[in-house]
C-alpha cells in the first residue's frame, strides 16, 4: 500500500475526533527552523462535515487492538487497515506544510499492539519533525490511555497540546461499550499531564527558556448520545474536569451511529447535533460566565431545553433576579443577562465609571436590546414603550427556527403544555 492510500484511510478514520481547535500557543521558529504557531488559533476552515482541516488530522494507525463498540476502528470491524511509519508521517507533514496546505499536525492513533508501542511510534514521528526537520509548527498529540508515564512525558515535551479522550461519561458506559478501557487508564495520564503543565510555571522554566511541557495545555473529548448519560451528568463531569485537571477545553461530539449493536442507537438515528450545541453553550457559560453546572441543569431537569439556549433558560427561571440596573449592578450580575456578553459587560463596567448609561448607549456598546430589555433597567427606567408579554419574551429569546418549532408543537397538539420555564415567570 503506498503512502497516499494510507493517508486516505487514516485521515478518514480520524474525522470522528473533534478535540482540536485553536493552538493557544505563540511560538516562532529558531534560526534554521521552519514553521511557527500563533496563539490566536490555527483552525481557519472546516470540512463539509464540520471538522477543521487546517491541521493535518491523521491517525498513526487504525489497526486497533481494542474493541470499543462505538468506534469505526474497533478490532472486530471489517475495514481496511493501514499504519504509517514515523518517517512516512513526518515526511508527509513537512511536504504539506511546505505547500501551505496545513499549519500543523493533529496526531492521534488507534492502539497498535499495546499503548506503549503506539506511543513510542508517535514519539518517533514527533522527534523526526522537531529534531531532524526542525519543525516549530503546532502539534497536537493524543495521549494513549494506559501508556507509561515516561512515554507520555517524552511525547509532551515534543507536542504543543495533548489530549486524553474520556469518550464516555461514566464507568458504566465504559464497561459496556469500551471494555478495554477504564476510568483509571484515562484519568491517570490526565492527572500526570496536569502536574507536568503546572511545572511550566516554576521560575526555572519561566525564566530560563527551558522547553515547556505541552505549553498549549490539554483537552479532552466526550461522545454524546451513544449512551443514556444525561446532559446533567455530562455537564457535571465537564465542570469537574475543568476544576480538577485544569483542561483548556472539553469537546463534545454527537455520536454518529456507525455500528450495529443492541447497546447503541440504531444506525439510521440522526446525530444529536442540537444536544452537542447546547453542551457547548453551557460549557461556555461555565468557563466565561461564572455559572455552575448545577445552576444550568439539576436533578429534576437533566436535559437541555430544546427551544432556548441555557443562559436564557436560566434567566427565565430566575425572574426574581431581574430587572437589574446596568448602572449599578455588579459585573457578575451583568453577565447573567441574556443579550449581554463578556465583552459588553466589561465595556459597561468601564464606561459607567464616567457617566450614566441609557438604552441608546447600551445599544452602541453592543448590548442586544431585543433580548436584554426584559431583564434590565437604566437608572430605574425601563425601555420606553416596552410591553412585557409572555409571547414577546418567547419570541425575543428564541431563534426564528425555534419559534416555529415551538409554535408548531404548541398548535398541533392541543394538550401540549407550555414550557415549564414559564411557570415561574413573573411578568
Ligand atoms: S481504542 Fe480508540 S481507536 Fe481503538 S477501538 Fe477504542 S476508540 Fe477506537
Q: 264-299: per-residue pLDDT in tens?
A: 888 888 778 889 999 999 999 999 999 999 999 988
Give the pLDDT score at 205.
67
Q: What percent of the chain is predicted at pLDDT more than 90?
A: 44
Give the pLDDT score at 411.
53
pLDDT band at 108 (very low <50, low <70, confident <90, very high): very high
**346 CB burial (10 A radius; 0-12, 13-18, 19+):** middle
pLDDT band at 41 (very low <50, low <70, confident <90, very high): very low
Ligand 1 mean position to 66 CA, how many Å?
6
The response to whether residue 68 sits with its C-beta less than 6 Å from ligand 1 reads: yes
Residue with cell 470491524: 77
What average pLDDT does range 210-227 have in this prediction? 88
Nearest partner of 76 among 64, 88, 87, 85, judged by Cα? 64
Ligand 1 mean position to 111 CA, how many Å?
7
Indicate the DSSP class of residue 132. Answer: I
Give the pLDDT score at 278.
94
Instruction: List the residue whose alpha carbon is closest to atom 5 of ligand 1.
Output: 74
Give the pLDDT score at 344.
95
- Which residues, at least 6 apart from 232, have a Cβ–Cβ distance to it below 8 Å? 293, 297, 298, 299, 301, 302, 303
Mean predicted lDDT score pLDDT of the chain: 83
What average pLDDT does range 29-35 have in this prediction? 68
pLDDT band at 403 (very low <50, low <70, confident <90, very high): low
Give the pLDDT score at 29.
64
What average pLDDT does range 245-273 have in this prediction? 85
What average pLDDT does range 187-201 have in this prediction? 89
What average pLDDT does range 142-166 have in this prediction? 92
Q: State the DSSP H helix or E strand holding residue 391, giving kind and residue range, or none if neither.
A: helix 390-397
Sign of CA dihedral 348, 349, 354, 355: positive
Report the atom number in ligand 1 closest to the C-alpha of 178: 6
Give the pLDDT score at 18.
59
Instruction: List the residue whose alpha carbon is closest to atom 6 of ligand 1.
Output: 68
Cell of 379: 437608572
* Candidate from 10, 65, 68, 253 with most ligand 1 atoms within 8 A of CB, to mutate: 68
169, pLDDT greater than 80: yes
Give the pLDDT score at 204.
66
Give the pLDDT score at 416.
37
Q: 307-353: per-residue pLDDT in tens?
A: 889 999 899 888 888 899 999 999 999 999 999 999 999 999 999 99
Give the pLDDT score at 14.
81
- Which residues, at least 6 apart from 258, have a Cβ–Cβ distance to it below 8 Å? 70, 72, 267
Give the pLDDT score at 404.
67
pLDDT band at 82 (very low <50, low <70, confident <90, very high): very high
* Number of Cβ within a 10 Å radius of residue 260: 9
| pTM for the predicted model, two decimal places | 0.82
The response to whether residue 66 sits with its C-beta less than 6 Å from ligand 1 reads: yes
212, pLDDT greater than 80: yes
CB 219 within 8 A of CB 242: no
Residue with cell 401540549: 416
Amino acid at each position: 500500500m503506498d503512502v497516499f492510500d494510507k493517508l486516505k484511510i487514516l485521515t478518514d478514520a480520524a474525522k470522528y475526533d473533534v478535540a482540536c481547535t485553536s493552538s493557544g500557543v505563540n511560538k516562532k521558529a529558531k534560526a534554521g527552523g521552519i514553521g511557527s504557531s500563533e496563539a490566536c488559533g490555527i483552525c481557519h476552515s472546516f470540512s463539509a462535515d464540520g471538522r477543521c482541516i487546517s491541521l493535518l488530522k491523521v491517525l498513526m494507525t487504525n489497526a486497533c487492538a481494542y474493541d470499543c463498540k462505538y468506534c469505526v476502528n474497533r478490532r472486530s470491524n471489517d475495514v481496511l487497515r493501514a499504519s504509517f511509519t514515523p518517517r512516512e508521517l513526518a515526511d508527509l507533514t513537512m511536504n504539506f506544510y511546505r505547500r501551505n496546505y496545513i499549519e500543523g499536525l493533529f496526531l492521534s492513533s488507534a492502539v497498535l499492539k499495546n499503548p506503549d508501542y503506539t506511543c513510542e511510534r508517535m514519539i518517533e514521528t514527533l522527534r523526526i519533525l522537531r529534531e531532524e526537520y526542525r519543525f516549530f509548527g503546532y502539534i497536537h498529540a493524543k495521549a494513549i490511555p494506559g501508556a507509561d508515564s515516561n512515554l507520555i512525558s517524552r511525547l509532551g515535551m515534543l507536542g504543543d497540546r495533548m489530549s486524553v479522550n474520556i469518550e464516555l461519561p461514566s464507568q458504566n458506559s465504559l464497561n459496556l461499550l469500551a471494555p478495554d478501557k477504564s476510568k483509571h487508564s484515562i484519568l491517570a495520564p490526565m492527572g500526570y499531564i496536569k502536574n507536568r503543565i503546572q511545572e511550566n510555571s516554576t521560575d526555572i522554566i519561566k525564566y530560563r527558556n527551558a522547553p515547556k511541557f505541552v505549553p498549549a495545555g490539554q483537552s479532552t473529548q466526550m461522545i454524546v448520545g451513544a449512551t443514556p448519560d444525561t446532559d446533567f451528568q455530562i455537564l457535571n463531569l465537564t465542570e469537574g474536569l475543568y476544576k480538577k485537571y485544569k483542561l483548556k477545553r472539553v469537546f463534545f461530539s454527537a455520536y454518529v451511529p456507525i455500528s450495529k449493536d443492541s447497546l447503541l442507537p440504531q444506525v439510521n438515528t440522526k446525530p444529536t447535533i442540537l444536544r452537542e450545541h447546547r453542551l457547548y453553550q453551557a460549557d461556555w457559560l461555565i468557563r466565561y460566565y461564572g455559572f455552575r453546572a448545577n445552576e444550568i441543569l439539576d436533578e429534576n431537569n437533566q436535559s437541555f431545553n430544546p427551544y432556548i439556549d441555557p443562559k436564557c433558560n436560566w434567566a427565565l427561571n430566575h425572574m426574581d433576579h431581574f430587572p437589574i440596573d446596568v448602572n449599578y449592578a455588579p459585573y457578575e450580575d451583568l453577565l447573567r443577562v441574556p443579550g449581554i456578553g463578556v465583552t459588553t459587560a466589561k465595556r459597561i463596567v468601564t464606561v459607567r465609571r464616567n457617566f450614566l448609561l441609557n438604552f441608546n448607549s447600551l445599544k452602541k456598546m453592543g448590548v442586544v436590546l431585543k433580548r436584554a430589555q426584559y431583564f434590565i433597567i437604566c437608572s430605574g427606567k425601563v425601555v420606553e414603550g416596552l410591553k412585557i408579554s409572555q409571547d414577546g419574551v418567547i419570541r425575543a429569546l428564541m431563534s426564528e427556527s425555534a419559534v416555529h418549532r415551538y409554535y408548531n408543537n404548541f398548535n398541533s397538539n392541543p394538550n401540549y403544555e407550555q414550557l415549564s420555564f414559564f411557570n415561574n415567570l413573573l411578568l
